[in-house]
Chain A
Amino acid sequence: MTKILDEIDTCLLQATQNGFPLVEEPFREIALKTNIDEDEVIDRLRNLRQMNIIRRVGASVNNRKIGILANAMVCWKVPRNRIDDVGETFSKKDQVTHCYVRKTIPGRWTHNVFTVLHGYDEKIVEKLVREMSELTGIEDYMILFSSREFKKTSNGRIDKKAIKLIGGKSID
């Protein structure tokens, strides 16, 4: 198994998991905390970003706090041979933040493509969903608006066991 992350990478990702410190020179502070040289901190983060292990270096915004109150998960029933083009069309929409194909459960759940959409209100989102339906001709769908958010964190946590699996080493 090839080593993707080494001990230092892992250490860095763990140290920045809760975000960068909001100071003039954040990487200097991280350097002090991890005992890794500031230049190396920056180089390694750049490298991880380049390899797309880091998807994005940026702020996570709480949509609801800025008035984007409507969050809809839309479940679509898409025929197998249409998944490629439909998935691509859906993904092109700015307001679509997630688009997944999921395994169905015959007899219980037969919608296979899932999109998550955000909008200032439910009407706007409903209109967009109608557009997506017209654009693709997929008419069998369900809109599930969220009424409460119970948890929202990053799914790309640094799981200690996972790190061992990919050949890295975790620090405590």
Chain B
Amino acid sequence: MIKGKSVAITRPAHQAEELVEIVMKLGGQPRVASTVEIVPTSDIEKVRKQFKLIADGKSDIIVFMSQNGVTSFLSLSEKLGLENRVLKALAKMQVVAIGVKTKMNLEERGIRVDVTPADHSSNGLVATLSKIPIRGKVLVVPRTDKPTDYLEKGLAGTGVKIVQFPIYETRIPRDKTEIYALINDILSGRIDIITFTSSSTALNLLKVAEELHQAEAVRKALNQKVVVASIGPVTKHTLEEKGVNVLVTPNEYTVEAMMIELERYPLTILKHESLDEVDLNILGLVQKEIPLVKKPWAEIGLRLGISSEEVLKRLKDLTEKGVIRRIGPVIDARKVGLKASTLVGMRVSPDRIDEVVSIINEYEEISHNYERKHEYNVWFTLTAPTQKKLNMIVRDVTRKTKVSEDDVLNLKTERLFKIRGDIKLK
């Protein structure tokens, strides 16, 4: 869920607008800090040859890979004094736009678009190009300064000649103030979600962090305090190579799909509360065993060298923040007569999960209930005084939730090896 969360947007300023709008619509707070700046290639002589090839009518197909590509392509052809000839040539060529946005951008400039792949990914583009007659043709691809070889690979053996050339450069913005502020906010836990829409948006952030000698701290903070979203698998891979875990990647590689996926992620977006050394020490003690004496907090304070008031104040604060759920006796279910227990796995269609869960959670006999990433996606635990009663409840839940018996696993506890509520803190 995005509501109330601060969402960092790292994509170039002029492309951030759409994301900002979506975040605001969903009740989040957009936080734009572009880590990438896109500028047309500075050395125009380098690309004169390729533009001449187009202007002279010696190329047949052109692929525009992004809106930036369109802008830079047109500004460069103007700088080279070839604008009119290039536009005339384009009218005779087959024009391919990678996505709808790029297509719209071209059409706004009066350039007709012939083909747009249904799937806006590299594979989608290769599939689309394979379908048009390309043998013996010249295919030009104006793109970034970081070319990839997937087109050459994907179209090998089709007899097409591919000419890729850089028309824009991506770089870290000259003015890094915004990025510094973002890094600061990431480190202090003020960012809940961060979105990366290309590999360079991620790499540049980490590069600037490195310049500040904060790369490791930022990586750690991203993994512990922030929900990291990537637009697609390439960006995800880049992040993971750098040791940053990506929690959200949509199936369709668009900004909208990424935001829909983020909106569906309620659990992981819980903010990691920043705890100091004293908090951690208190938590370490109170989750193990609280002394059963008249003034237990004073005793804990004594062990940590702080006052009873300080312990109490912090415990109240941690409880308010939801870090501590409760402090008190944890009862052994088996010793108070709840001798039967089980784990139930259910196969529930995703659109019914909320409804099914609300029915399950009504039962006081059911103590834990999770959604898990598996074919069986809802898992809950249940205790009861007898096996008979246990089976009765499972049957009752199955009936009420209208889940078929074939989609319910009742995995009864046979033996308990370990159960422990406390957890090792860093």
Residues on A lying within 8 angstroms of B by beta carbon are 4-5, 13, 16-20, 22-28, 38, 42, 45-46, 48-49, 51-69, 71, 73, 83, 87-88, 90-91, 94-105, 108-109, 114, 118, 120-123, 142, 144-159, 161-163, 165-166
- Among residues of A, the one whose C-beta sits closest to the C-beta of B358 is A150
Residues on B lying within 8 angstroms of A by beta carbon are 223-225, 245, 265-268, 270-273, 275, 283, 286-290, 292-298, 308, 312, 315-316, 319, 321-333, 335-338, 341-343, 345, 357, 360-361, 364-374, 378-381, 383, 385, 409-426
Q: Is the CB of B364 within 8 A of A100?
A: no
- Give chain B nearest CB distance to A71 CB in angstroms: 7
Q: Is the CB of B337 within 8 A of A162?
A: yes
Q: Is the CB of A158 within 8 A of B336?
A: yes
A16-B329, A52-B332 known; 11 new pairs, CB 8 Å cut-off, are A48-B329, A55-B330, A57-B290, A60-B287, A61-B423, A105-B411, A150-B360, A150-B361, A162-B336, A162-B338, A163-B337
Question: Once bound together, how far apart are the Cα atoms of A126 and B32, in whole Å?
Answer: 34
Question: Once bound together, how far apart are the Cα atoms of A61 and B424, in whole Å?
Answer: 11
> What are 18 A-B pairs with beta-carbon distances under 8 A?
A16-B328, A20-B328, A56-B289, A56-B422, A60-B287, A62-B325, A67-B272, A90-B418, A94-B424, A95-B423, A99-B416, A100-B415, A121-B245, A142-B374, A147-B267, A147-B372, A155-B367, A166-B336
* Chain A contact residues: helix, strand, loop or mixed: mixed
- Give chain B nearest CB distance to A168 CB in angstroms: 8
Complex contacts, A58 vs chain B, CB 8 Å: 286-290, 327, 330, 421-422
- Give chain B nearest CB distance to A45 CB in angstroms: 5
Complex contacts, B365 vs chain A, CB 8 Å: 159
- Among residues of A, the one whose C-beta sits closest to the C-beta of B286 is A59
Q: Is the CB of A46 within 8 A of B308?
A: no
- Give chain A nearest CB distance to B325 CB in angstroms: 4
Q: Is the CB of A13 within 8 A of B329?
A: yes
Complex contacts, A22 vs chain B, CB 8 Å: 312, 315-316, 319, 327
- Among residues of A, the one whose C-beta sits closest to the C-beta of B425 is A66
Complex contacts, A62 vs chain B, CB 8 Å: 322-325
Question: Once bound together, how far apart are the Cα atoms of A165 and B345, in whole Å?
Answer: 29
Complex contacts, B371 vs chain A, CB 8 Å: 146-148, 150
Complex contacts, B410 vs chain A, CB 8 Å: 105
Complex contacts, B341 vs chain A, CB 8 Å: 155
Question: Once bound together, how far apart are the Cα atoms of A91 and B419, in whole Å?
Answer: 9
- Give chain A nearest CB distance to B336 CB in angstroms: 6
Question: Once bound together, how far apart are the Cα atoms of A88 and B420, in whole Å?
Answer: 14
Q: Is the CB of B329 within 8 A of A54?
A: yes
Q: Is the CB of A55 within 8 A of B287?
A: no
- Give chain B nearest CB distance to A161 CB in angstroms: 6
A46 with B292: in contact, given A66-B275, A114-B343, A150-B369 (CB under 8 Å)?
Answer: yes
Question: Once bound together, how far apart are the Cα atoms of A144 and B421, in whole Å?
Answer: 20
Choose from A144, A145, A153 the contact partner of B368 (Cβ within 8 Å): A153
- Among residues of A, the one whose C-beta sits closest to the C-beta of B227 is A69
